Structure 1
Amino acid sequence: MTTRSGSAKYEGLGKSGKGHVSTQSGVLSDSPYGFNTRFENGPGTNPEELIAAAHASCFTMALSFALAGKGYEAGTLETSAKVTLDKDGDGFKITKSALTLNAKIDGISKDEFEAIAADAKANCPVSKVLNAEITLEHNLAA
């Protein structure tokens, strides 16, 4: 079992509040977040950006291990994720995570690659926790 942690502090309330988020590893250390970073492109981060990074990295690692498990030894995977936050009644909801993958894997067929990538998309831990539509577009270089 692996457990990781993060923390957040928010001072003030609503739009005028300011927050800071940190991670156990120290990659984020009192990084600013708030209304302006979430809805107005202010400097800092926001929950959706962090989920996008988590989803892209989790999927990419899952795909890497799945490909290695099938005997592939060389390749490059580059994934981006776009997380969509939509109005949901009186609040908001993450409705979509769109993964875009560029890959170069020596010796793999398109069909086998698509099957392995679809399984990684469905079964990476972050995909399993998201209650949202997950899409995958990919480009497999020859």
Structure 2
Amino acid sequence: MTTRTATARYDGLGKDGKGHISSPSGVLDDTPYGFGTRFGDEKGTNPEELVAAAHSSCFTMALSFALAGAGYSDGTLETTAKVTLEKDGEGFTVTRSDLTLTASVPGIDADTFAEIAAGAKANCPISKLLNAEITLTHTLS
């Protein structure tokens, strides 16, 4: 079992508050987040961006390993995740994560690629974690 952590701190409350998030690896090191980074254009991150980063990287790694397991040894995969936050009554809900994949895998046919990609989408741990609609659009060159 692997356990990873991150710590979030919020100074002040509501729109006027300012948050910072850190992780032991140092990739997130007192990185700012708050209302302005979530709903505006202030410098920093936000939960949906972090979920998008987690989902795109998890899916891409899962697909890489699935392709290797199927006997493919070369290729390039690039995935963008668009995580949607929608108003839900008085609060908000993350309703979906749309994955867009561009791939180049020499020697693979489109049907085989689509089947392996669909399996990676369904089985990546972050896909399993999310309780939202998850779509996948891919281009194979």
- Do Structure 1 and Structure 2 share a fold, with TM-score over 0.5? yes
Q: Provide the residue aligned with 2:47 in structure 1.
A: 47
Q: After the TM superposition, which segments of 4 or more aligned residues of structure 1 sit over 2 Å from their partners?
A: none
Name the % identity.
70
Local SS of the residue matching 2:135: strand
Please state if 1:69 is matched with 2:34: no
How far 1:64 sits from its partner (Å)?
A: 0.1
CA distance in structure 2 between the partners assigned to 1:65 and 1:5 by the alignment: 24
CA distance in structure 2 between the partners assigned to 1:80 and 1:90 by the alignment: 29
Please state if 1:87 is matched with 2:99: no
Q: Provide the residue aligned with 1:97 in structure 2.
A: 97
Please state if 1:121 is matched with 2:118: no
Give structure 1 stretches of 5+ with no counterpart: none
Count of residue pairs brought into register by the alignment: 141
CA distance in structure 1 between the partners assigned to 2:130 and 2:24 by the alignment: 22
Give structure 2 stretches of 5+ with no counterpart: none
CA distance in structure 2 between the partners assigned to 1:137 and 1:73 by the alignment: 23
Q: What is the RMSD of the two structures over their aligned residues, measured on CA atoms?
A: 0.5
How far 1:41 sits from its partner (Å)?
A: 1.5
Q: Provide the residue aligned with 1:133 in structure 2.
A: 133
Q: Once the two structures are superposed, what CA deviation does each residue of 1:64-91 show, in whole Å capped at 9, x if it has no partner?
A: 0000000000100000110000011111
TM-score, normalized by length of structure 2?
0.99
Local SS of the residue matching 2:22: strand
Q: Once the two structures are superposed, what CA deviation does each residue of 1:118-140 show, in whole Å capped at 9, x if it has no partner?
A: 01001100000001100001000
